Amino acid sequence: MIGVFDSGLGGLSILKHFLSDLPEYDYIYLGDNARVPYGNKSSELIYHYSCQAVDFLFSQGAKLIIFACNSASSQALRKIQTEYLPVKYPGKNVLGVIVPLVEKVVSDPKISKVGVIGTRATINSHIYREELLELKPDLEVLEKATPLLVPLIEENWLKRPETRKILKYYLRELKMKEVQALILACTHYPFLLKEIRQIMGKSCKVYNPGEVVAFSLKDYLSRHSELDIKLVKKPQRKFFATDKASNFKQLGEKFLGEKIEDINYINLNDKL
């Protein structure tokens, strides 16, 4: 079973592509919607929440966990991989969404100027800048915090004119500086992918994180048979959330593109 974790609904943009491209695996999704968004919280708190999520997903039988959350990937993943897992879960792994996107950008020799949009936590960590420049030191990287987008998406304001105005305001500087590629450094943002691509224009590549991360996961699984994550004829999909928000199932089905049979509600603080 593969675990997928996000602070809310955004990780469904990643899970959607897992189900499409790698459908014959069991998946368990955890959305910490009681504490969304993570992007405005301290790195210490994000790490604490992320450890709680790891504990829960492994307790439910996950053999591999994907942090489908850029804030968790940027603020907590490295410490979890190097300190938490070796002590508490030796032999198991947690992967993030940052490295696949970075590798996708640097693989294109025509790209010399890259824009990155994300939550304050992700942008302030400069994790994308560091990873990009490590692989391609001559890149010009422009970062922009876009903190209003996650709440708007969680409230299903995708088609509201106010959301488009805010998007245009956030993207104006990157468009004027003619970035050749734009990284959506938050898994909520693909729900606005069409609008973002329209605003940035055809001269800017805006990658779909779900497609990129699904391709990377497929490659990872092919190289790590020791994880013993098996293909199944009747795969299971389990969904957990931390708050009985009335819109979680409704929006979740809309974002995922398929029906969610049941959502289980948990209190992560009780799982410590």
DSSP string, 101-132: HHHHHHT-TT--EEEEEE-HHHHHHTHHHHHH
The per-residue pLDDT for range 178-194, each reduced to its tens digit, is: 999 999 999 889 989 99
Considering the chain, what percentage of its residues have pLDDT values greater than 90? 70
User: What are the φ and ψ backbone dihedral angles of 135, each rounded to 5 degrees?
Assistant: -90, -25
Q: What's the CATH code, domain 98-209?
A: 3.40.50.1860
Report the CATH fold assignment for 2-96+211-271.
Rossmann fold (3.40.50)
Q: What is the pLDDT of residues 137-168, one digit of tens each?
A: 999 999 999 999 988 988 889 999 999 999 99
User: Does position 9 have pLDDT exceeding 90, yes or no?
Assistant: no
* 2-96+211-271 matches 98-209 in fold: yes
pLDDT at 37: 83
pLDDT digits (tens, 9 = 90+) for 23-74: 999 999 999 989 988 878 899 999 999 999 999 999 999 999 999 998 899 8
Alpha helices in 4-42 (DSSP H): 12-21
pLDDT at res. 221: 92
> Cβ contacts of residue 148 below 8 Å, gap of 6+?
166, 170
Distance of alpha carbon 128 from alpha carbon 145, whole angstroms: 12
| Domain edges within the chain | 2-96+211-271, 98-209
Start-end of H helices in 89-236: 98-106, 120-125, 127-135, 149-154, 161-176, 193-200, 209-223
Name the residues annotated as catalytic.
69, 186
Q: How far apart are CA 40 and CA 11, in angstroms?
A: 17
Q: Which residue has the higher pLDDT, 71 or 132?
A: 132
- Which amino acid appears at position 167 of this protein? L
Q: Which of 129, 185, 194 is nearest to 163 (CA)?
A: 194
